[in-house]
Amino acid sequence: MRVRTPAVAGMFYPSEKDELIQSIKSSIYNEYGVGKTKLSKKIFGAICPHAGYMYSGPIATHSFEAISEQDFEVAIILGPNHWGLGCQVATMKDAVWASPLGNVEVDSDAAEKINKLSRIIEIDFFSHTREHSIEVQVPMLQYYKSKFTILPICILNQDYEFALEVGRAVANIAKEKKAVIIGSSDFTHYEQNEIAHRQDKALIEPILEMDVERFYDVLENRRVSACGYGAIAATMVACKELGAREAMLLKYATSGDVAGSKDSVVGYASIVFS
């Protein structure tokens, strides 16, 4: 069984177990973190940010707290391929993901099934080797949930048609298994704080309406620089197919709101589908 070793431990989050746990606790009780808030409702999936924990961790805790209340065995994690390595859309099998909090096994059965269901989802370990968008979700999941497997899906081609197909394939897997879906994305990149808030508010509106076509229209017309737009769209598609009727924005903030400098910020949102 192959081991997918961390690519960004020590950069995006601490590489040492105790420091990592403390970092997550600090995120929870940060001014922008979830604190002791509970969301006791059934959710099918969530949108989570994937930046360094010191910036996006507090916002991410809102989604992970909601996820922790769910009864699931596999977390299907969709993230953009920032590096351009490997396939258009890639999962993997016969592997574990190493983390400072321990190893997490890939659901190889789910990987084989989704590969057969979709003409575009390939099994390719290499596509995942340097990508952080899925990796940063794993320690958060481990903190909140003791036992689960993952189905990682790394998306290079984030076009509308690809998002539809990936989302439908994910929904078919989730219908067979106790699953929760995580769409990994940050929102506006490297704009002034006020502009980021305005741009992201516009893009979040169609997500809350679960309107995938309008989401792509806003993305393109306003040129919103959300990196994981295909992962967001595929998560919307999958959750709608599973019966989601409502989307809720749990928290939005930028790196400038959380960490200070507001001249060049990145936007983060926690959104759940129920």
pLDDT digits (tens, 9 = 90+) for 158-197: 999 999 999 999 999 999 999 999 999 999 999 999 999 9
Between CA 246 and CA 198 the distance in angstroms is 23
Q: Is the pLDDT of residue 40 over 80?
A: no
Q: Other C-beta atoms within 10 Å of 108: how many?
A: 17
Q: Is the pLDDT of residue 37 over 90?
A: no
To the question of pTM greater than 0.95 for the whole model, the response is yes
Domains annotated on the chain, with CATH: 40-273 (3.40.830.10)
- What pLDDT is stored for residue 260 in this prediction? 81
Output the six-digit token pair for 242: 């599973």
Q: How confident is the model at residue 249 (pLDDT cuts 50, 70, 90)?
A: very high
- What pLDDT is stored for residue 39 in this prediction? 82
Q: What tens digit of pLDDT does each residue of 69-117 get?
A: 999 999 999 999 999 999 999 999 999 999 999 999 999 999 999 999 9
Strand segments (E) across 22-107: 45-48, 74-80, 89-91, 95-97, 104-105
> Across residues 1-22, what is the average pLDDT?
98
As a 3-state breakdown, the chain gives helix, strand, coil percent values, each rounded to 5, of 40, 20, 35
